[in-house]
Structures are given as structure tokens and as C-alpha cells.
């Protein structure tokens, strides 16, 4: 039976490369050849002709490997090779009939062994699939663990700030209340001092009146009454009072400020959490030189781009932007989620985002979603725009994160340092591949700084 493997190998050697690829394609299919299970695509991906023969024999056993080879050769119209294998099959059948008559157990032995070979191959494949799944789950669990640690540490920082704010607010409120109480106490002491002085004067006047009342001689009484000092002026006691201060305005003012700070810190925490979720889908993006405008200069590692002062002599292939000062990333987005970060610090002009594969790369560009562009840009150092409309940005970002959720139809732009959302395209309907797009802007004044694709600092 070893000779059969050699014959199969020689047969495949007679196939041109294109025909060999077609041959392997049929081996991957379950429904094109009745009665034969497909060979897993991953096993055939790098298999040469000898490897392919080994995979067929391992999967089907040698006689059925011969049958499948004949059927596939018929599909790709290599009947000359089919005729040779048919003659081999006839000789094998004759030999098999002879051996079956002479050795009745040999046939059953070969069948069972071939079946066990198929079972062994299937079990091996199942083991490999489960090993890959175990590795994927371990990776996911490790990412989750590190993410949980990072979130815990960040939450501790936020709550520490909140606690410090509470303590500071309470201390300020207590100090304000105590100061008001001290003022009220001073006012009370002043009023008491004034009233006690009046009491002293009134007591003195009362004594004088009592002495006058004790004089019985008319002349002496009238002389003493005439020389008596007038009573000192006094205030109306009903108008004297101490109004206790109201502390509620101070309390509510402090509580309101605290609530505002809590809300601000909570928003920061939620924004950071959203950014962290996006960063889980980070992709290693590199620039595609075949798409770069001739004025653009790319770094050797494909991570940086800036506009030069001289146009390069490059082939004007269909993929290359001209005259738009753009370049695309090599990595495409056609499903799931995709995230990358770009350093923009020091630049006065740039464009970032994603574009669909079929955009027109020649002539002028009108960067709008209906034209296949989902981008934001900076102009004149401080004018941020999206689809030609002004974009409100509180603080100029130094690093921009771009997150694409292909299935949900959304593209979000983040200020990585503050975790604030700069803009989000939502409700999009993607029908083709998307590519990251970069434009460092023209080489003017301070805008010579490159755009830099940064590594995502998600797992600390």
C-alpha cells in the first residue's frame, strides 16, 4: 500500500500550482463530493503535495484517498491523470480480491484500521480545537483580571478624591458655621454689656428717686428735686433682640458644590471605563505605503507619517491618494470591533478616522459619511471639524483613540488622556471593508511634526 501513496504523490506533482490550489479547495468542501468529509482548512493552509497526500490517507485511509483523488481530478478536468489512477485502482482491486479470498480477516482488518485512522484524525482535530479554545479563554481571563485590577486602582483614586472632597467640604462648612457663631456671640456680648450699663444707670436713678421720696420738708424736697440730674437716655427694650444666624444656606451651598464635584468625578470614571472597554479591541495598525500620497514620508516601521517638502517619484497606482495628502492603514475592518490610537501633539493640522475601501482616491476629497469618510480633523491649530461642521473640543487632545464597532454601526473618537468622547458617528450601515485613514496635513510652519500610531497602553 506504500506504493499507492507514492503514486498519489506523483499524480499531484503533475498538477500546475493553480490546479493544485483547486485540488486543495475541493478537499476543504463537505458538499461537493458525496460521501467524503472535508479536511480542515487550517491543516491544508501550508500543506505541500506530500503533506496533502498524508492528510488524505490519514483522513480516509489509502483506498478512499485514491477514490477522492480520482473524483477531484475529474472535477478539475485532469482526465489523463484519472486514467492512470483508474488502472492502479483496478490492480489494487485484483490484489484485494486475491487477498480477501486467501486471507478473509485481512479485509476486515484494513477496514477497521482505516476507520480507526479516521477516528484518530478527528479526535486529534477535536483536541487541537479545544486546546486553542483553552488558550483563548485563558487569554480572555488574563485580560479580564488585568482590566479588573486597573479598574479597581482607578476607582480607588477616584473615590480617594471624592473622600478628600467630602472632608474638605465638611471642614470648610464647619469653619464657616463656627465663624458665624463667633460673630453672633460677639453681638450677644455687646448687647448684654450695653443693657447691663443701662441697668446700672437705672439702678442709680432709682436710688436717687427713693431718697427724694424720703424727704418730708417741702422746701428741701423742692430744692433737691430741682438740682436732680435728668435720667440717662435708654432704648426701648422691646426693640433689643439677638437674631440667631441661619446656617442652612451655607449647608446647602456646600452640599451643592459637593454634588457637582461628585457628578464630575463620576462622569470621569464612566468615561474612563468606556475608553477601557474600547481599548480591549486594540489592533496593531501599520501604514500602507502603496496608498500614500507622493508628498508623504513614512517611517520604516510604518508607524509615523509626515508631509515632506519634496514630491517623491512613486508609481501612480489605483490605490494611491493623489492629490489628497492621505495614507491608509494596512489592516482592514469588516466585522466586530477595532481600536487604535494616534499621537497628534504639536500639530496644527491633521485628519483621522476610517474610510470604506471603494472611496475615490484620485482628485479632490469631500470627507463626509455619504462619500465613505468617517473622520474628524484639526485646522489652524484650534479649529476642530467633522463633516465640515465645527466640533466643540474643551481641551486640545494630545492623543486620539479611534474605535470602530462594525456590527453596531458606530465610530467613536476619544481624547485618550482625559477619556472624553470627542465625537461619535452612530447609526452607520457598513457594507464593505473599512480602513484606518491618516492625513498629517501640509508641511507648513509648525505642522512638520508627524502623526504617530501609538501602542495602546491598556494592560499595565
d(CA 316, CA 293): 9
Query: Region 167-174: what's the mean pLDDT?
Result: 83
Mean pLDDT across 367-390: 93
Q: What's the pLDDT score for residue 290? A: 96
The domain tally of the chain equals 3
- C-alpha 341/C-alpha 282 separation (Å) is 8
- What is the reported pLDDT for 96? 57
Residues 446, 341 share a domain? yes
- Which CATH number fits the domain that encloses residue 46? 1.10.533.10
Biggest distance spanned by C-alpha atoms of the chain: 175
Q: Are both 402 and 336 inside the same structural domain?
A: yes
Read off the DSSP letter of residue 341: E
Q: Is residue 67 in some structural domain?
A: yes
Q: Does some domain include residue 196?
A: yes
Same domain? For 263 and 298 the reply is no
* pLDDT score of 256: 83
Same domain, 300 and 418: yes
- Residue closest to 117 by CA, chosen among 58, 166, 49, 198: 58
pLDDT at res. 151? 74
Contact yes or no for 23/15 (Cβ under 8 A): yes
- Per residue in 84-105, pLDDT (tens digit) is 888 877 776 665 555 555 555 6
**What pLDDT was estimated at residue 103?**
53
Q: What is the CATH number of the domain that holds 422?
A: 2.60.120.920
pLDDT at 321: 96
Least confident of 94-98, 109-113, 131-135: 94-98
Q: C-alpha cell of 273?
A: 471605563
Domain that holds residue 30: 2-102
Total number of residues shown for the chain: 460
User: Residue 177: enclosing H or E segment and its boundaries?
Assistant: helix 104-213
Dihedral angle computed from the Cα positions of residues 347, 350, 354 and 358, in that order, rounded to the nearest 10 degrees: -150
* pLDDT tens digit sequence for 186-221: 888 888 888 888 888 888 888 888 888 888 888 888
> Is there a domain that residue 17 lies in?
yes
* pLDDT score at 26: 87
The answer, yes or no, to whether residue 460 has pLDDT greater than 50, is: no
Measured on CA atoms in the order 261, 265, 268, 274, is the torsion positive or negative?
negative
| Segment among 232-236, 328-332, 389-393, 408-412 with least mean pLDDT | 232-236
**149 CB contacts (<8 Å, ≥6 apart)?**
460
For residues 204 and 314, state if they share a domain. no
Residue 210, Cβ neighbours under 10 Å: how many?
9
Name the residue among 428, 432, 291 with its Cα closest to residue 370.
Answer: 428
Tell whether 261 and 333 lie within a shared domain. no
Q: Count the Cβ atoms, other than its own, within 10 Å of residue 63.
A: 17
pLDDT band at 377 (very low <50, low <70, confident <90, very high): very high
| pLDDT average, residue stretch 370-378 | 96
Check residue 94 and give its pLDDT.
63
Residues 298 and 416 occupy one common structural domain: yes
417-437 pLDDT, tens per residue?
999 999 999 999 999 999 999
Q: 229 and 87 in one domain?
A: no
Same-domain status, 381 and 417:
yes
Helix (H) or strand (E) holding 454: strand 451-454
The Cα–Cα gap between 190 and 209 comes to: 29
Mean pLDDT of 104-124: 80
CA distance 399 to 352: 11
Report pLDDT for 1.
44
pLDDT tens digit sequence for 35-82: 678 888 888 888 898 999 899 888 888 888 888 888 889 888 888 888
SS3 assignment, position 296: strand
Provide the whole-model pTM.
0.55
| Coil, strand or helix at 436 | strand
Residue 387 lies in a domain: yes
Say which residue, 99 or 151, is predicted with more confidence: 151
Cell of 110: 484494513
CB atoms within 10 A of CB 96: 15
Q: Based on the fold, state whether residues 268 and 311 are members of the same structural domain.
A: no
Q: What pLDDT does 397 receive?
A: 96
Q: Is residue 309 a contact partner of residue 315, using CB atoms and an 8 Å limit?
A: no
Q: Is 279 exposed, middle or buried (0-12, 13-18, 19+ CB in 10 A)?
A: buried
Q: Which of 65-74, 184-193, 222-231, 295-304 has the largest mean confidence?
A: 295-304
- Under the banding of pLDDT at 50, 70 and 90, the label for residue 459 is very low
Helix pair angle (2-13, 49-60), 10° resolution:
140
> Is residue 18, in this structure, part of any structural domain at all?
yes
Q: Which three cell numbers stand for residue 322?
A: 493623489
Are residue 274 and residue 310 in the same domain, yes or no?
no
Q: Report pLDDT digits (tens) over 238-270.
A: 777 777 777 777 778 877 887 888 777 777 778
Four-residue CA torsion sign, 31, 32, 35, 38? negative
Band (pLDDT 50/70/90 cuts) for residue 374 is very high
Residue 440 near residue 447 (C-beta atoms within 8 A): yes
Same domain, 332 and 199: no
Q: Using alpha carbons only, what angle is made at residue 39 by residues 38 and 45, rounded to the nearest 5 degrees?
A: 130
Going from the C-alpha of 250 to that of each of 107, 184, 185, 240, 243, the distances in angstroms are 99, 16, 18, 26, 17
CA-wise closest residue to 398 among 350, 331, 436 = 350
d(CA 60, CA 119): 10
Backbone angles phi and psi of 34, in degrees to 5: -65, 135
Per-residue pLDDT averaged across 106-115, rounded?
78
Torsion angle, alpha carbons of 441, 443, 448, 453, to 10: 30
Q: What is the pLDDT of residue 310?
A: 92
The pLDDT, as a whole number, for residue 2 is: 45
Cell of 246: 441661619
38 within 8 A of 28, measured Cβ to Cβ: yes
Amino acid at each position: 500500500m506504500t506504493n499507492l501513496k507514492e503514486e498519489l504523490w506523483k499524480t499531484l506533482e503533475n498538477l500546475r500550482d493553480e490546479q493544485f490550489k483547486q485540488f486543495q479547495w475541493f478537499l476543504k468542501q463537505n458538499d461537493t463530493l458525496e460521501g467524503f468529509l472535508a479536511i480542515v482548512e487550517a491543516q491544508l493552509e501550508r500543506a505541500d503535495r506530500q503533506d496533502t497526500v498524508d492528510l488524505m490517507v490519514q483522513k480516509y485511509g489509502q483506498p478512499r484517498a485514491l477514490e477522492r483523488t480520482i473524483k477531484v481530478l475529474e472535477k478539475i478536468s485532469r482526465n489523463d491523470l484519472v486514467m492512470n489512477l483508474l488502472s492502479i485502482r483496478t490492480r489494487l482491486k485484483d490484489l484485494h480480491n486475491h487477498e480477501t479470498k486467501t486471507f478473509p480477516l485481512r479485509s476486515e482488518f484494513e477496514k477497521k484500521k482505516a476507520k480507526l485512522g479516521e477516528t484518530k484524525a478527528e479526535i486529534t482535530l477535536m483536541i487541537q480545537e479545544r486546546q486553542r479554545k483553552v488558550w483563548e479563554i485563558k487569554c480572555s481571563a488574563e485580560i479580564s483580571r488585568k482590566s479588573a485590577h486597573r479598574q479597581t486602582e482607578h476607582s480607588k483614586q477616584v473615590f480617594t478624591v471624592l473622600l478628600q472632597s467630602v472632608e474638605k467640604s465638611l471642614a470648610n462648612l464647619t469653619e464657616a458655621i463656627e465663624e458665624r457663631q463667633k460673630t453672633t456671640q460677639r453681638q450677644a456680648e455687646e448687647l448684654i454689656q450695653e443693657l447691663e450699663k443701662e441697668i446700672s444707670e437705672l439702678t442709680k436713678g432709682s436710688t436717687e428717686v427713693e431718697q427724694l421720696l424720703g424727704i418730708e420738708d417741702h422746701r428741701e424736697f423742692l430744692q433737691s428735686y430741682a438740682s436732680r440730674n435728668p435720667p440717662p437716655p435708654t432704648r426701648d427694650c422691646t426693640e433689643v433682640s439677638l437674631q440667631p444666624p441661619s446656617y442652612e444656606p451655607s449647608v446647602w451651598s456646600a452640599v451643592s458644590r459637593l454634588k457637582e464635584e461628585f457628578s464630575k468625578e463620576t462622569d470621569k470614571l464612566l468615561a474612563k471605563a468606556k475608553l477601557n472597554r474600547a481599548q480591549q479591541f486594540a489592533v496593531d495598525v501599520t501604514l500602507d505605503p502603496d496608498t500614500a500620497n507622493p508628498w508623504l514620508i513614512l517611517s520604516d516601521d510604518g508607524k509615523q507619517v509626515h508631509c515632506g517638502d519634496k514630491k517623491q517619484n512613486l508609481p501612480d497606482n489605483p490605490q494611491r491618494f493623489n492629490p489628497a495628502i492621505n495614507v491608509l492603514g494596512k489592516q482592514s475592518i469588516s466585522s466586530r470591533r477595532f481600536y487604535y490610537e494616534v499621537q497628534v501633539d504639536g500639530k496644527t493640522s491633521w485628519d483621522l478616522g476610517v474610510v470604506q475601501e471603494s472611496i475615490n482616491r484620485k482628485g479632490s476629497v469631500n470627507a463626509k459619511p455619504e462619500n465613505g469618510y468617517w473622520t474628524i480633523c484639526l485646522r489652524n491649530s484650534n479649529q476642530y471639524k467633522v463633516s465640515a461642521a465645527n466640533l466643540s473640543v474643551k481641551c486640545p487632545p494630545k492623543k486620539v483613540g479611534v474605535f470602530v464597532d462594525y456590527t453596531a454601526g458606530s465610530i467613536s473618537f476619544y481624547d485618550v488622556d482625559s477619556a472624553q468622547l470627542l465625537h461619535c458617528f452612530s447609526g452607520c450601515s457598513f457594507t464593505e471593508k473599512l480602513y484606518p485613514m491618516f492625513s498629517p496635513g501640509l508641511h507648513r510652519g509648525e505642522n512638520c511634526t508627524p502623526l504617530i500610531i501609538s501602542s495602546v497602553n491598556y494592560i499595565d
